[in-house]
Structure 1
Amino acid sequence: MRGWKSSAPLLLLLPAALVLAAVVIVPLILSFYSSFTPFRLTKPETIWTFIGFRNYAKLLADWDFWVAFLRTVVLLTVALNLEMLLGLGLAMLVEKATSGQRILRTLMMFPMMFSPLLVGFQFKFMFNDNVGLVNNALQALGITNTAIPWLIDGNLAFFSIAVAEIWSSTSVFAILILAGLLAMPKEPIEAAKVDGCTPFQTFRYVTWPFIMPFAFIAMTIRSLDVARAYDIVKIMTDGGPAGRTELLWTLVARTAYSDAKMGMANAMAYFSILLSIVFTVYFYRKLAAARLQVGTEW
């Protein structure tokens, strides 16, 4: 090693590179390898038994996995669209505010300050069928006389999870879209008004093309979050009742730690990553197209 010389930047980065390799790269390689083995936590020696693509073949024929996969896609689609619409509405309202805009921006960020675990506990209490705030409010208003089993009925439980996800993350869309609205020049809007455009036409053909890249950035961020949703579902329903709210990553965790099938769980995890990759590539292409359109028109 005496004759080996290295630059100072490389030596300075070496500790960080070693830590990164120890906590990220090595576990990734090990988990990827174990997806080709029948590795079980109760039988550690099975990690050395190579079975090829047998786990992946079983996965393709696993009905529970595909149901969880489809349920995750549905949650992602519903959450992203509603968060974008609500975030757009909030951003436009705050942008129109003539006073107290800083306070409104701070309040708009408030849901982001909670961890997903706290959000899960919060909404689990709110949707409780006996002492929950939602049922108490509905009964006090005379809308219903009986307690609604929000977290017991499968469809209602899925709805409750979607509400928790939307509440906690709508501010991501609102903040990014508001940044686009504040950065937008006012001259094109004034010109559209002079030309006789209606408010809807002004928004559709002037405002929306400009803020579209900001919306796609938020969609990219949130698609990754929802595709790996775990905390809120784990706290609120734990995948129940009877697996009706089981998502990809709750199924992966159950397979890995409850059933001790770590090899199969890692196969599920790597197959599930495809969902995140597909949505990320899709939104990046949309973002590039929107940026090109803004660059051409503006």
Structure 2
Amino acid sequence: MLNNWAVETRRLRLLLELSRLGSMREVSDVLGVTTSTVSQQIAVLGREVGADLIEPDGRRVRLTPAGRRLADHAVKILAAVEAAYADLDPGAEPTGCLRVAGYVTAIRRFLLPIVADLAVTHPKLELLMYEHEPVEAFTLLAADDLDLALVYDYTLVPASIDATVELTPLHTASWGLGVPAESTASGNALAVFGQFRDESWIVNSRNTADENVVRAIASLAGFEPRIAHYIDGLELVQELIVAGLGVGLLPIDWPTLPGVRLLPLAEPAVTFRSYAAIRQGRGTWPPLALLLARLRAAI
């Protein structure tokens, strides 16, 4: 049994050329090394794999059955190594499978148009999309089950980011408080929140960022919010507001339903920040570099 091989690919290259040319001198001429180097390296390779790889054939040499089998494997091994180098070359054509996760709004607004365009401009690049909130996406990214995650946080409650994650800022947006249209509330964030201290509050069902914002501002305004509904979709949040079932955070630039009034928040402001998250050191991989460039350009 052969254990703990430490075979260098350059020795496999020598063996493969020897199988093709049948002469160490010809191998040395083709690869630009001395004949003694070819002989020594083939001998080292034989010791590494525990088998005689060549045998005399007149004034030349030929591969033994073990040598021929290893040469057959060398074809596949060297091809795989060359493919890996090409894949990791920052200047290479982006190809392969790219796994991307994001929250619904980011996928709908930013990612889908890019995916449609990449299908035309880079047909050898396959992009797989998954819908996940940041807390889920960060877990998958840490497990190397994703290549890129579209995530977000708020300036009031920054996300806790693992040191192995690299963030690329994409955009920021102001958020306000969605309330029933007949409301006459006004003032800064603390005053606005205080006017809804007795109302039910609506927060995200799969991420705690907006709940943390609600609790932080409510605490500054001197009350504990009654979180009554955990809703993921912003459209559904608005429908609950129209039905008089609560109030909740919404993007200032988001189209509102009839029956919803959107109150700006200031002092403190609620600023939403989105990022593209990848693992440290992966940004030069051509598919990732391409998608990051497209995201920055689009946003």
TM-score, structure 2 as length reference: 0.23
Structure number with larger C-alpha Rg: 2
Of structures 1 and 2, the one with the larger relative CO (CA 8 A, separation 6+) is: 1
TM-score, structure 1 as length reference: 0.23
Structure with more of its chain in strand, by fraction: 2
